[in-house]
Amino acid sequence: MSIQWFPGHMTSARKKAAETMAQTDVVIEVLDARLPEASSNPMIRELRLARQRPCLKLLNKADLADPEATRAWLDFYNAQPGVKAVAISCKKPGDATRVPALCKTLAPHRKDGIKPLRMLIMGIPNVGKSTLMNALLKRRVAAVGDEPAVTKSQLSQDLGPTMSITDTPGLMWPKIAHDSDGYMLAASHAIGRNAVIDSEVAAFLGALLLERYPGLLAARYQLDEAGADGIGVVEAVARKRGCITRTRHGSELDLEKAAMILLTDYRDGRLGRISLETPASRSAMLAQAIAEES
């Protein structure tokens, strides 16, 4: 199954973001630290490069990501021109307070204080943009929820006399080019549930965890990974958590319920600190995609 999700309001949100970027000094792109490239909207890159705007990439939810993978991603991004990358957790107020100073380093022409530093928060749904906005302002001005696409319109606020910041709705792009990206985004709850089948997403996640973090699966679910696959992981979760549904012919495993348990455990960090991709795995995936196309 190929996962695609581009709600209608995002077309107008993209147009409005392009207009706002013309009056912006620094783009703050919020990424999910567990899948930084999969959660990076290519339209954002196109818009900021067209306007030649520097970018502060915030690898948010770093407290849920594998620290070793996060360090590799920071090296990857910080080697790019016009980009500065840091790992943060927007739920930690101290992390958010670093953002304005980091933006100032990317816009030295605003250091004189004559004109305010204008910052624009962008990113896909459910990566923590509104949480960052609220943390910077030290009050709740942006709606926050555990579902993608809670924010539907832009919100601009002053951060004192010399800085302003604008929060934008989460933006997806019209076509997700790589199936694995769609599944990683769905597993991390950046895509609405109406566009996915939870059991398929959980099977993808289970297979990835078997490959990279088998110990965490075994610790959480007492899973014997020998000979298991992604569906086997979901089945094991169903047996361990008692996900049984009654039928006319007896009973069977409730795989949908088990899928949500696995996905929720991953999303909430109960499995441990997990990254779904690294620069190396990303490079390998892209190389394989090119080989399959040729």
- pLDDT tens per residue, the chain (294 residues)? 578 777 766 778 788 888 888 899 999 999 999 999 999 999 999 999 999 999 999 999 999 999 999 999 999 999 999 999 999 998 887 899 999 999 999 998 877 667 889 999 999 999 999 899 989 988 877 655 555 545 557 888 888 888 999 998 888 888 999 999 999 999 999 998 888 999 999 999 999 999 999 999 999 998 876 668 999 999 999 999 999 988 777 789 999 999 999 999 999 999 999 999 999 999 999 999 889 887
Amino acid residing at 17: A
For residue 53, the surrounding DSSP H or E stretch is none
Go through the domains of the chain in sequence order and give each one's CATH number.
9-167 (3.40.50.300), 197-293 (1.10.1580.10)
| Tokens at 158, concatenated | 């002053």
| Tokens at 262, concatenated | 């696995």
Q: Residue 3 in contact with residue 184, Cβ under 8 Å?
A: no
Report pLDDT for 247: 78
Give 230's Cβ-side CA count (13 Å radius).
Answer: 16
Report pLDDT for 16: 86
Q: Which residue has the tokens 């999969």?
A: 38
Report pLDDT for 114: 75
Closest to 201 measured CA to CA, from 263, 147, 127, 289: 263
For residue 49, the surrounding DSSP H or E stretch is helix 42-50
Report pLDDT for 249: 77
Residues 6 or more apart from 38 whose CB is under 8 A from it?
A: 32, 178, 180, 181, 184, 185, 276, 277
Closest to 230 measured CA to CA, from 202, 189, 270: 202
Question: For residue 247, what are the β-bridge partners?
Answer: 250
Residues 6 or more apart from 173 whose CB is under 8 A from it?
A: 6, 41, 42, 43
Q: Residue 136 in contact with residue 159, Cβ under 8 Å?
A: yes
Report pLDDT for 226: 64
